[in-house]
Structure 1
Amino acid sequence: MKLPPEDRTLSPHTGYARAHWVAVADGLLDAAWRWASPGKARLDLPGPASASGVRSDGLEGFARTFLAAAFRVAGDGDPHNWLERYAAGLDAGTRTPGRDDAESWPVILGHDVAGQPMVESASVALGLRLTRPWLWDRLDSRTQDRVEAWLRGALRHTPAPNNWYLFPFTVAGFLDDVGRGDAETARARDRALELLEGWYRGDGWYADGDGRAFDYYNGWALHLYPVLDAHLAGKPAHHGERLREHLNSLRLWFGADGAPLHFGRSLTYRFAAVSAIGLGAVTGDTPLRPGLSRRLLSGALKYFLDRGAVDDRGILSLGWHGPHPPTTQFYSGPGSPYWASKAFACLLAPADHPLWTSTEESDDTDTIRAEPAPGFLLQKADGVVRLHNHGSDHLRPHEAESADDPHYSRFAYSTCTGPTAKDNAADNHFAVVAGGVRSVRRRIHPLGAGQGDGWGWAASWHRPIFKTAAVPGLRVESVTVARGRDEVRVHRVVGAPPGATVEQTGWAAESVLKPLSGWTGQDEVRAPHGTAYTPWVSLPRLTGDLDGTTVFIAHAVLGTEATDLDVTEEGIRWPDGFTVRITFDPLEVTAG
C-alpha cells in the first residue's frame, strides 16, 4: 500500500496525518475492486465462504467497501470516481433480487433465515446517505425505486435480538432523509430507540441485547449508528453524552503501540475499534483532546498495517495481524473484515479540523479504572492494557450455559496477548476439575467493581460447567485486585464435590504466576495452537486440593518481574506496606 511520507512534526508518535487515512482508504478500495463481478454488484473476495454462502459474501464485500468509499467521498469528494462503480453495482444488484446469478443480491429476510443481507443493508443505506449529492440524487427514478424496495426488506423482517435492530433503524433514516419515509420507517426507528434505552446500563455502556454482552459493539454499532444518524440529520445528538462517557473508558483500551484490547467477538474488524473515537471528534461528543483522538485513531491503523493485516494483494485478511481462523466467527466471510471501514468516519472531519491540525498527543501513564456497569477492571502499566472481565459473557438470558467461549470466558485479556484456542489449555482461567473434567466459565454474575488511589478491584461469581452439566450448589466467587503491574486473583470455591481439585492458569506470554495461599502445586501447560500473537505458547499453572469451602490466592504479572507480596492476617500486603483486605458474605474489598 502506497503511503505518503511520515509527518513526525505534526504526528510525533505515529507519523500519520489525514493524507495517510485517505491513502489507506483508496488502497483498500483499489485492491478490493479487482474482485468485482462483471456488473459490479458483488465483490467476491478470495477466501473461505461464511455460513451465509458466497452470494451473501459478495454483497458483503460490496456493502462494506461502499462504506469506506462513502466516508472518503463525503469528506473529500470523489477524485477516483469510486461512486460510478457503486452506482453500477446498485443497479445490477437490485434488478432481480434473489436470483441465482452473478449479480443479483440476496433478498433481505429475518436473522434466522439467511439474515446476513440485513446487516449489509445498513452499510448500503448509510453509504447512500453519506454520498447523496454524488450518487442517489443522480440515479434514475426506476433504480431508486428498486433500491428502496430491496432496502425495505430490512424493515419487514425480524433482526437478531441485539445491535441488529440498528440496521433497519439506519435504513429507515436514509429513506426518511430522501423523502421516502412513512409509518413503516417510523416504526423501525421507534423500536430500535426503545430497545436501546433498555440496553443502556450506565457510564456510557450498552449491553448488546438483553444479556450481558459488553465489547467493541458498544462503540462501532450501539453508539455509532444513532449518533451518526443525528449528525447527518443536523439534529442534537440525544445519545451524544453517552458517547462522551464511553470514550472516557474506550481511550484506555489501546496500548502504547496502538493495539486494541484483544477481547470480544468480531475482532477481525480490527481498527473499527476506533470508529467511535473518530465519530466523537467529528460530532463534538468527546472528552478527548483532538491530538489524543488522532493518536488513538492513527495508532490503531498503523498497528495493523505494520503487522500484516493487509496481505500482499492489498486485501484485509480474516484474522488479527495476518490470517488467524480462531479470531473469526461462523458468520465471518472474506468481506467481513471490511467493517473496519467504520474507522474512516474520521474523514468526515475536513483537513482544517483540529483533529488533523493539532499536534498528536499521547497518554501512556499507568492507570487503573473500574467500570461497574460492564463489570470491567482496566489496568494500564508499561504501555500494556489488561482488562479483567467480571461482567461480560455474551449469553442471552434464555441461553444455556454450555461450551467455553475464549473471547469472553477468560478472567483477563490484554493488548499484547490473545486467548488460547478453544481446544487447548485455557489461559487466565480458574477451573474446578471433577472426574477428570475441567470446568468452563460461561454466565458471569458481577458482584461489583471499585477503585482507589492507584489500585482497583472487580468481582463476580460463576457456576462451573462440566461439558453440559453442573454440580448442584457448586459456585466460584472471584475477585481481581490490580495495582501497578500486579494482579491478585482470589477465588473462593463453595460446594465442591468430593475429590475435586482446582487449577489456575496465567497469561499466554512470558508471565509470572505465584501461589500465595491455598495452592499445592505449580507447573506449566502447553497450548500448541498458540494465540493470535504467537503460533505456540506455554502457560504457567497452579493446582490445589479442595476441602469444603476453600480460598485460593495467586499473584499474576504479565511480564517477567514480580514484587514480593505476602498474605497476612491483615490482608494481602505489598512491600511498601499497602494492604488489601477481601472478605466474603458480604463481599468487601478495602485497602489500608
Structure 2
Amino acid sequence: MQTARAYWLETMDRIARPVLEALSQGRLRERMPVRGKLPREDRAQYTYLEAFGRTMTGLAPWLELEGLTGEEARLQGAYRRMALAALHQAVTPGAPDEMNFSHGHQPIVDAAFLAHALLRAPHALLEALPAQDRAHLLDKLRATRTRKPPVCNWLLFSAMIEALLYRAGAPDWDPMRVDLAVRLHFDWYKGDGFFGDGPAFHMDYYNSYVIQPMLIDVLRTVAGEDAEWRAMLERAQTYGAHHATFLEHLIMPDGGYPVLGRSSAYRFGCFQMLAQAALQDLLEEGIAPAQARCALTQAIRRVMAFDNFDADGFLEIGVCGRQPDMGEEYISTGSLYLCMAVFLPLGLPPAHPFWSAPDADWTMKRMWRGDPMRCEHAL
C-alpha cells in the first residue's frame, strides 16, 4: 500500500515537473500555455515568474531536507539540480527564459514567492548558487523596488524581498520596508487568528495564501535585529497556529472544503498556513501532526480526483478540473502553482511524527461520525 509520503511526492512531482523541467532547459516560454481572461500578451509578461516562484515556494523545504535515502534521495537530487538550472535561466540577462522583475506590479508578488523559497532552502538554493547567478538574482530582486505596492497584503511581498536580501548579506536591505509591513499588519489584526487584508476584513484564504506564512517567515529571518520584531514573531506564531486549527476544521470527511473568496483556483494552496504550522512544529495542542497529515492528504486526494491538467501536464484554471470562469482577471496559468504550498511538510524527515505516526482522524471526520468532541474557544 502506498504511504502518504509517497503519494505526496508523486503528486508534487506531477505538478512541479513540467514547470521546472522546461525552465531548467530554457524552454518554459516555449512549452507553458498562457491561459486566462486577459489577452495573452498581457499575462505573458508575468505568468512565467508566477509559475516559477510559486512552484519553488512549496518545493523548497523538501529541497533543503538532509538525510534522505533511496529513491526519494535520487528524486530530490534531480530536483535540486533542476531548481538551480531554472534559477540560472530565470535571472541571467539574455537567457531564453529570463524573467521580468522590472515592469508592472505583478513581479513584486512573484519575486516575493521566489524569495520565500530561498529563505525556506537557504543551503540547497541560495548558498548553492554560483556567484554570478547569485549576483544576478539579487539585482533582479532589487529591481522590484521601483514600484509602490498597494496598502494591503502586498506590503508583505516587499518585506519578503528585503528579508531575503538581509539573509543573503546584502548591505542595502531596507529595514523600513520590513517594519512598515509588519506593523501595519498587526494594526490590521482582527482577532481569533485572522488579519485584515489592509484595514478591512476579507472572507477569503489570503491569511493562508500570503499573510500569515510570510509574516512569520519575514519575522523569523530578521528577528535578531530588533527586540520589537522578536515580540511580534511570538504573537505571529501564536496567531498562525490558531489559524492553522481553523483551516484543519474546514476539511470535511471526504476531503472537500469551502471554496470561499477570490483566488480559489490556487486549489489546496489555501492550506499553506496549516502546512507551515506542521513544518515548523507550531500546531496547537488539539491538532496532532498525524491528524494534520490525514486531513491534508484527503484534501489533496479530493482535488486530484479531477482532471486538473492539460495534455502537456500543465495545470488548468479551476478547483475541480477545468473551470476557466473561476479565474479572476489576474489569474493565468502560472498563478495556479501556488497550490504547491500544501507540500511544505515534505521538508520534515520521514521519521517525524507528521509522517511516521499512525493515521489519525481529523476534526470534521470525528465530528460527523458522532464522536465525543470538545467545545471550541476563541484565541
TM-score range, shorter chain: 0.7 to 0.9
Change (3 A) 1:30 1:248: closer
Residues 567-582 of structure 1: matches in 2 within 5 Å? Answer: none
In structure 1, stretches of 5+ residues that fail to align are 8-16, 368-380, 384-452, 455-592
Percent identical residues: 23
Change (3 A) 1:85 1:290: closer
Matched residues in 1 for 2:264 and 2:84: separation? Answer: 30
Matched residues in 2 for 1:309 and 1:93: separation? Answer: 26
Matched residues in 1 for 2:30 and 2:291: separation? Answer: 35
Structure 2 counterpart of 1:224, one-letter code: P
- Answering whether residue 113 of structure 2 is matched by residue 123 of structure 1, we say yes
Counterpart among 177, 180, 204 of residue 191 in structure 1 = 180
Shift of 1:42: 5.2
- Answering whether residue 137 of structure 2 is matched by residue 108 of structure 1, we say no
Counterpart among 70, 73, 85 of residue 63 in structure 2 = 73
Larger radius of gyration: 1
Structure 1 counterpart of 2:101, one-letter code: V
Matched residues in 2 for 1:41 and 1:90: separation? Answer: 12
Contact 1:56 1:116 in 2 (8 A): yes
Shift of 1:281: 1.6
Shift of 1:37: 7.9
Could you say what secondary structure the match of 2:259 adopts? Answer: coil
Could you say what secondary structure the match of 2:15 adopts? Answer: helix
* Deviation per residue, 1:78-99 (Å, 9 max, x gap): 6342233333333333333xx8
Residues 43-442 of structure 1: matches in 2 within 5 Å? Answer: 44-49=31-36, 51=38, 52-75=42-65, 79-96=76-93, 102-109=96-103, 114-182=104-172, 184-230=173-219, 237-238=233-234, 239-287=236-284, 288-311=287-310, 313-362=312-361, 363-364=363-364
In structure 2, stretches of 5+ residues that fail to align are 225-229
Contact 1:271 1:340 in 2 (8 A): yes
Matched residues in 2 for 1:294 and 1:157: separation? Answer: 40
Could you say what secondary structure the match of 1:332 adopts? Answer: coil
- Bigger shift: residues 212-221 or 256-265: 212-221
Change (3 A) 1:69 1:271: same
Could you say what secondary structure the match of 1:201 adopts? Answer: strand
Shift of 1:230: 4.6
- Bigger shift: residues 264-273 or 43-52: 43-52
- Answering whether residue 18 of structure 2 is matched by residue 31 of structure 1, we say yes
Contact 2:283 2:289 in 1 (8 A): no
Change (3 A) 1:137 1:201: same
Residues 4-23 of structure 1: matches in 2 within 5 Å? Answer: 5-7=1-3, 17-23=4-10
- Bigger shift: residues 157-166 or 191-200: 157-166
Shift of 1:29: 2.2
Matched residues in 2 for 1:20 and 1:366: separation? Answer: 23
Could you say what secondary structure the match of 2:127 adopts? Answer: helix
Structure 2 counterpart of 1:275, one-letter code: Q
Structure 1 counterpart of 2:55, one-letter code: T
Higher helix share: 2
Contact 2:116 2:214 in 1 (8 A): no
Residues 457-472 of structure 1: matches in 2 within 5 Å? Answer: none
Matched residues in 2 for 1:352 and 1:234: separation? Answer: 30
Matched residues in 2 for 1:53 and 1:222: separation? Answer: 24
Matched residues in 1 for 2:121 and 2:365: separation? Answer: 40
Matched residues in 1 for 2:86 and 2:36: separation? Answer: 21
Shift of 1:231: 5.1
Shift of 1:58: 1.8
Structure 1 counterpart of 2:199, one-letter code: D
What is residue 566 of structure 1 aligned with on the other side? none
Matched residues in 2 for 1:49 and 1:102: separation? Answer: 23
Q: Which has the higher contact order (CA 8 A, sep 6+)?
A: 2
* Deviation per residue, 1:429-488 (Å, 9 max, x gap): xxxxxxxxxxxxxxxxxxxxxxxx99xxxxxxxxxxxxxxxxxxxxxxxxxxxxxxxxxx
Change (3 A) 1:229 1:23: farther
Matched residues in 2 for 1:249 and 1:68: separation? Answer: 21
RMSD after superposition = 2.9
Shift of 1:272: 0.8
Shift of 1:38: 5.0
Structure 1 counterpart of 2:352, one-letter code: H
Change (3 A) 1:153 1:253: same
* Deviation per residue, 1:232-252 (Å, 9 max, x gap): 679774211111222332222
Change (3 A) 1:228 1:354: farther
Residues 418-567 of structure 1: matches in 2 within 5 Å? Answer: none
Contact 1:67 1:126 in 2 (8 A): yes
Could you say what secondary structure the match of 2:190 adopts? Answer: strand
Structure 1 counterpart of 2:151, one-letter code: P
Contact 1:271 1:301 in 2 (8 A): yes
Contact 1:169 1:188 in 2 (8 A): yes
Structure 1 counterpart of 2:12, one-letter code: A
Higher strand share: 1
Matched residues in 2 for 1:229 and 1:263: separation? Answer: 27
Contact 1:228 1:279 in 2 (8 A): no
